[in-house]
Amino acid sequence: MFPMKFSTDRTLVAALLACLSLSAAAQGYPNKPIRLIVPYAPGFITDLGARLMAQRMSQILGQQMVVENRAGAGTRIGMQQVAISTADGYTLLFANSVTHGTMPAMSKSLAFDPVKDFAPIAPLFWYASTLVCHPAVPANNVKELIAYARKNPGKLTNATAGPGSGHHLAGELFNSMAGVDIMQVHYKGGAPALQDVLAGIVSCTYDGAAKSSVDSGKVKAIATTGTQPDPRFPGLPTVDAAGLKGFSVAWWQGLAAPAGTPADVIAKLNAAANEALKDPELQKRAYDMSLNVSGGTPEKLAEQIREDMAKFAKIVKEAKIPVE
């Protein structure tokens, strides 16, 4: 009996010391540079958002937040690196609607769990895609576009950034909810997709950075795809408000850490992120990048992740999109 009791006491003491050690470490956090893993190549809108946050959060936290691009395998490489990292707050993921939405929906299996292996920290930015069409398309709003598509099945086309991309899934959701057949035309990226809409080769596309093309009249904006109006397009309704009730495809960016990161470290990072988002200069620069400021709690980001994973999984299943 005594050896058993002694062993149990040692286990309890070890666990207590471990908790105290984590708490002490968190109190001194951060005391060295923080790695912010971006699962994209430099230059993408997610990379730009990450660098904007890293610059301001470095000032607030008093330690350098270093952006590291780990692109590849549809964000899987960067995500896996964070998932297996030590849960001490010094390796973070710049997450988005792909890492915790479209990518899991398009994957048969993953080496990590997008929910269980990550701890949400804070939602940061959001942006909606804009449904834009070439001026020759004889429709100026959602109802007219649906009516034309129904009368002319197969005539309209939607340019996507590739199978499983946001452009593609938004297009499939529109088809499903509106009962139309707008053909998906896949490209290797959003830029060439938009180029062919500008040239009139493809009818429409869902683009998050088409504002300059809209402002110049090269394409016409039909609606935005989020749950709320996009500040970049005053007066332009959402697809939902324009007649397709329940349609919503908005994109978010946020911070996450490896699962098991101490709660007080998460709280400190959340506070720093929300403080950074209040900076007027950061807000202006984000707006110029087509990003709208969000902010909020870890719970808010966790809810967004749950909603997106369920929504995109449903779109992929109903549209019978092949997964890899």
CATH number of residue 159's parent domain: 3.40.190.10
Q: Are 311 and 105 in contact (CB under 8 A)?
A: no
Q: Is the pLDDT of residue 81 over 50?
A: yes
In a domain, 87, yes or no: yes
At position 90, the amino acid (one-letter code) is: Y
User: Are 139 and 216 found together in one domain?
Assistant: yes
Domain boundary among 224, 239, 263: 224
Q: In whole angstroms, give the CA distance from residue 217 to residue 213.
A: 6
In a domain, 235, yes or no: no
* pLDDT at 1 (0 to 100): 42
* pLDDT at 31 (0 to 100): 97
Q: Are 248 and 126 in contact (CB under 8 A)?
A: no
In a domain, 90, yes or no: yes
Number of neighbours of residue 70 by Cβ within 10 angstroms: 20
Q: Is the pLDDT of residue 54 over 80?
A: yes
Q: Is the pLDDT of residue 131 over 80?
A: yes
Q: Which residues pair with 257 in a beta bridge?
A: 119
User: Are 13 and 147 found together in one domain?
Assistant: no
Q: Are 132 and 222 in contact (CB under 8 A)?
A: yes
Nearest-Å Rg of the Cα atoms of the chain is 22
Q: In whole angstroms, give the CA distance from residue 67 to residue 303.
A: 26
Q: In whole angstroms, give the CA distance from residue 192 to residue 196.
A: 6
Mean pLDDT of 193-201: 96
Mean pLDDT of 80-90: 98
Q: Is the pLDDT of residue 90 over 50?
A: yes
Q: Which residues pair with 131 in a beta bridge?
A: 206, 223
Q: Are 35 and 89 in contact (CB under 8 A)?
A: no
Give tens-digit pLDDT for 5-50.
444 455 554 445 544 544 545 679 999 999 999 999 998 889 999 9
Binned at pLDDT 50, 70 and 90, residue 244 comes out as very high
Binned at pLDDT 50, 70 and 90, residue 208 comes out as confident
Kindly report the average pLDDT of the chain as a whole number: 91
Q: In whole angstroms, give the CA distance from residue 292 to residue 294.
A: 6
CA nearest to 158, candidates 174, 141, 140: 174
User: How many domains in the chain?
Assistant: 3
At position 107, the amino acid (one-letter code) is: S
* pLDDT at 209 (0 to 100): 79
User: Are 123 and 142 found together in one domain?
Assistant: no
* pLDDT at 8 (0 to 100): 46
User: Are 166 and 197 found together in one domain?
Assistant: yes
Domain boundary among 224, 259, 279: 224
In a domain, 238, yes or no: no
Give tens-digit pLDDT for 109-130.
999 999 999 999 999 999 989 9
| 19-33, 124-138, 166-180: least confidently modelled range | 19-33
Q: Are 185 and 198 in contact (CB under 8 A)?
A: no
Q: In whole angstroms, give the CA distance from residue 31 to residue 267.
A: 16
| Encoded tokens for 132 | 């834009």
Strand pairing category for 183-186 and 157-160: parallel
Domain enclosing residue 157, as ranges: 130-224
Residue 264, judged by CB atoms within 10 A of its CB (0-12, 13-18, 19+), counts as middle
The enclosing domain of 260 has a CATH number of 3.40.190.150
In a domain, 178, yes or no: yes
Mean pLDDT of 256-266: 98
Q: In whole angstroms, give the CA distance from residue 268 to residue 271.
A: 5
Q: Is the pLDDT of residue 280 over 70?
A: yes
Q: Is the pLDDT of residue 310 over 80?
A: yes
Tokens 């993953």 found at: 110
Q: Which of 38-42, 131-135, 249-253 is most confident?
A: 131-135
Q: C-alpha 308: how far from its chain's center?
A: 9
In a domain, 243, yes or no: no
Mean pLDDT of 186-214: 92
Better-scored residue on pLDDT, 159 or 9: 159
In a domain, 119, yes or no: yes
Domain boundary among 205, 224, 243: 224
